[in-house]
Amino acid sequence: MSPISDALPTADDEDRRWAEASRRVQELKDHGPRVRGISNQLALVILIVLLGGLAVVARLGEPLSIAAVCQFVLLAAALVVSGVGYARARRGGRLLSQIPTPRAEWPLSPLLPEERRSLARQLRGRIPPTKRSREIVPDLIANSRLNNRAVLPSLVGFVLFLFSESLYLGWPWPLIIAGMVVFLVIMTRVEARRWQKALELNRSTFHA
């Protein structure tokens, strides 16, 4: 065999790449991501405690008002919700790391760039999965759903904190924060529909 043909990728190489990527994704789905340093959930709790404490100190010299009471109630709710969210994510092994994972440890790093691009299109439901990606697509979606559920309480707590701060900052900050929440909800629904479309395409392709 010529040196040129030896350098060309083979079907066995492609099988090994997809098998390794599938193994990494399966491990990530079953055991959760590896956390380096502080997690996103704990970072939000610390942020709420620090900035919330400053907000309370800023209110101490002011007379008690309905806005101040509402602010303190929202702040307390934010601490409780974000704290419970962090505890549950920690017990479930679903803490999300603030420090990015090295590229070599990415679940899809064994794949070639064009294979990752094709997989991204499959996850959006734009093209049907292949025989090699038929298992990795639902595993990636399941892992993303688990991560979203794990971080949701922390995000809700952070939104409550933002609303509590908006009562101190005044108009139009409550409206701006409400608009941000609506935008995030819409984007979440769009993402969920894409995942559902990808799963349905996966089922129809291999179970028709």
Model confidence over 146-174: pLDDT tens digits? 999 999 999 999 999 988 888 777 778 88
Total number of residues shown for the chain: 208
**What is the predicted pLDDT for the residue at 79?**
93
pLDDT of residue 208: 54
pLDDT in tens, 78-113: 999 999 999 999 998 899 988 888 888 889 999 999
- Sequence-distant (6+) residues with CB within 8 A of 161 are 47, 48, 51, 52, 74, 75, 78, 82
- Confidence band for 2, pLDDT divided at 50, 70 and 90: very low
Question: What's the average model confidence in pLDDT over 170-196?
Answer: 88
Count CB-CB contacts under 10 A for residue 143.
Answer: 20
Q: Looking at this protein, which amino acid is placed at residue 151?
A: V
Q: How confident is the model at residue 58 (pLDDT cuts 50, 70, 90)?
A: confident
pLDDT at 190: 92
pLDDT for 55: 83
pLDDT at 64: 77
0.85 exceeded by the pTM?
A: no
Q: Is residue 76 very low, low, confident or very high in pLDDT (cuts 50, 70, 90)?
A: very high
Q: With beta carbons less than 8 A apart as the criterion, state whether 166 and 174 touch.
A: yes
Per-residue pLDDT, 1: 46
pLDDT at residue 123 tops 50: yes
Q: What is the pLDDT of residue 96?
A: 92
Other CB atoms closer than 10 Å to residue 80's CB: what's the count?
A: 13
What number is the average pLDDT over the span 105-125? 91
Give the amino acid at 5: S
Given a cut of 60, whether residue 7 has pLDDT beyond it is no
| The two three-digit tokens of residue 186, written as one number | 């819409």
- The mean of the pLDDT values for the chain is 86
